[in-house]
Each structure stands twice: as structure tokens, then as C-alpha cells.
């Protein structure tokens, strides 16, 4: 089961939940019970340099710039 991030439009709670893919858009807020909106999530993948060595991570994390409104 995938892990999804959500934000409630009524109370503003941000949470994550393990939800079957077919139910991902219907997760209720655990605080107030209102329908929550699924947030865009980033996938982490290793990046290799030309010599096969892993390249160092470059900050960011999350939305990388404040576009999500949670920063």
C-alpha cells in the first residue's frame, strides 16, 4: 500500500496515511473528519555521477521552494 500525504481544507491538519491506490482521493481527516486533499509527493531516487559514485544530496526536501504552502 502506498503512503500518501494529505492536508485538510477545513482544519488545516497535515497527515500521511497508508491507503489502497483506489481510495487515495477519499481519505478523511483524522482530526475533524472532513475530506482531505492529497498532496503532491516527491519520490527519492539515487543519482549517480559519471564514475558510478553517488552524488551528494542537494538540500530541498519537501516542496523545494515553498510552493506547497507548508514551508
Mean pLDDT score of the chain, rounded to an integer? Answer: 77
Query: Domain of 21?
Result: 3-38
The pTM score is: 0.56
Number of folded domains in the chain?
A: 1
Q: Average of pLDDT values for 61-71?
A: 56
Look up the CATH number of the domain holding residue 24: 2.20.28
SS3 4: strand
- Among the residue ranges 4-8, 20-24, 48-52, the one predicted with the least confidence is 48-52
User: What pLDDT band is residue 20 in, cutting at 50, 70 and 90?
Assistant: confident
pLDDT of the residue at 34: 94
pLDDT of the residue at 12: 94
Amino acid at each position: 500500500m502506498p503512503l500518501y500525504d494529505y492536508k485538510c481544507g477545513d482544519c488545516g491538519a497535515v497527515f500521511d496515511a497508508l491507503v489502497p491506490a483506489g481510495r487515495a482521493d477519499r481519505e478523511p481527516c483524522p482530526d475533524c473528519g472532513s475530506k482531505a486533499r492529497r498532496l503532491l509527493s516527491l519520490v527519492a531516487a539515487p543519482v549517480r555521477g559519471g564514475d558510478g559514485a553517488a552524488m551528494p544530496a542537494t538540500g530541498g526536501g519537501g516542496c523545494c521552494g515553498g510552493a506547497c504552502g507548508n514551508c
